[in-house]
Structure 1
């Protein structure tokens, strides 16, 4: 199982304004629909439909995550569109939808998730170790550090969508 170590920030500025200011360069943009199949306090199981915004290319993934906060174990693999559709149709859940902008900043990759169903934009940056993540000093424009605030986790937001 791979270890995912990331910090998350509540981005207040738009991607467009940050590009104009020269803060980063956009590499790709994807449209993501994700549905959770099982959740508990420390684990999650989800599927995703990912569309490349420029090429229209589709991919589908199945992901298991364990843990909370800064570092979590993760297993992710590709699935077919047929499997994805069967699972999503069986659960009849409202998918969490967002655009993900992947950008290069200071020689590092950042991912910016812009959610549709709520006013929320989150910037994520991954690290090789927890010590590297904790030592990282984010520029002010990254916004508030929400790495360990569960109310901003995808699974919490998805649960809220199901109640509407």
Structure 2
């Protein structure tokens, strides 16, 4: 089960009005969709200064809590799925993960940088639905940064973005 909230944001969480958050890691990613309903996705995750992983992901449901199954795949299968099954340009993302004082992680994503459809979003994943519903950005000085919560709004998933920009 994946339990996460999502916000639309403008840039990385940096600046004089935001708390300094320790950067945990940065990934360059590419992802594409074999199916959107249900979600069947491939993703290449290249850790800055580290290794590259290839992931096959299945998701069902929408909103705050969704079933999710992820499995590693090899590069050869990833490449075959990208070219022979998907056949469209994958979505590019830069993801930075920041440590929050409560032990959770703020993941900020810049999607399709340089494209007319580029945008930014942030997510926090939680251990329970109750923890997600009770978590307050203002407790960490992030109220202004995380002020556009789109968690339960239809059309805010990466799958919806794929349909809008790749089909």
What residue is the counterpart of 2:89 in the other structure?
A: 94
Q: TM-score when scaled to structure 1?
A: 0.88
Matched with 2:157 is 153
- 19 and 45 in structure 1: CA distance in 2 versus 1, 3 angstrom threshold: farther
User: Is the contact between residue 66 and residue 73 of structure 1 (CA under 8 Å) also seen in structure 2?
Assistant: yes
SS state at 2:14 partner: helix
CA distance in 2, matches of 1:129, 1:65: 18
Looking at structure 2, the residues matched to 48 and 17 of structure 1 have their Cα atoms a distance apart, in angstroms, of 27
Q: Counterparts of 1:126-141 in structure 2 under 5 Å?
A: 126-139=125-138, 140=143, 141=145
What is the aligned partner in structure 1 of residue 107 from structure 2? 111
1:84 to 75, 78, 90: 78
Give the 3 Å change call, closer, same or farther, for CA 135–10 of structure 1 in structure 2: same
* Cα 1:34–1:115 shift into 2, 3 Å: same
Shift of 1:160: 1.4
Q: In structure 2, the residue corresponding to 1:132 is in which secondary structure?
A: helix
What per-residue deviation string (whole Å, max 9, x for no partner) do you get for residues 93-152 of structure 1? 221111010110223211111112423211100111111111112231212101012322
1:68 correspondence with 2:62: yes
* Runs of 4+ with deviation above 2 angstroms: 16-23
The alignment's TM-score, normalised by the length of structure 2, stands at 0.87
More helix as a share of residues: 1
Which deviates more from structure 2 when the two are superposed, residues 94-103 or residues 65-74? 94-103
Which residue, out of 8, 13, 22, partners 2:19?
Answer: 22
The answer as to 2:166 corresponding to 1:162 is yes
Structure 1 counterpart SS, 2:25: strand
How big is each residue's C-alpha offset from its partner over 1:33-89, in whole Å with a ceiling of 9 and x where there is no partner? 00100122xx2000011111233x211000000100000000001000000000101
Query: SS of the counterpart of 1:121?
Result: strand
Q: Whole-Å Cα distance in 2 between the matches of residues 148 and 18 of structure 1? A: 28
Helix, strand or coil for the counterpart of 2:49? coil
Secondary structure of the structure 2 residue equivalent to 1:157 = helix
Equivalent in the alignment of 2:53: 59
Long gaps (5+) in structure 2: none
